[in-house]
Amino acid sequence: MPGVNKAQRIALKLLGSAGEEAEEEARSWFLVCPECGHEISYFEAGGLRLGPPSEGRRMRIRCDRCQARVTHDLVHRPEEPGDVSADRPSG
Ligand SMILES: [Zn+2]
């Protein structure tokens, strides 16, 4: 039986990985509410449909916390590398 051919598999794999990358990127961007400071990730705000995020971009959405429909600033906050910079005994 034929099943999925090689070309299709490769296409699926490529799309899958590209989708994951876009999602990861979108998750490192946040929309900040000017009214209450509440933050929501670009991904949660449905940013994947609106195209790639960029510094200085603004989006008019409704804040989850204060319900104000205002223009949110888009800020980039890549994930911290972790406990790399923690205090370590030297010597
Ligand atoms: Zn708010």
CA of 69 to the centre of ligand 1 (A): 8
pLDDT, residue 15, reads: 67
> From CA 30, how far away is CA 33, in angstroms rounded?
10
pLDDT values of the chain reduced to their tens digit, one per residue, 91 residues: 456 688 777 766 766 777 788 888 889 999 999 999 999 999 988 887 878 888 888 999 999 999 999 999 999 998 776 665 556 666 6
CA-wise closest residue to 35 among 71, 85, 76, 74: 71
pTM score:
0.66
pLDDT, residue 61, reads: 93
CA of 4 to the centre of ligand 1 (A): 48
Q: What is the domain partition of the chain in residue ranges?
A: 28-79
CA of 87 to the centre of ligand 1 (A): 36
CA of 16 to the centre of ligand 1 (A): 34
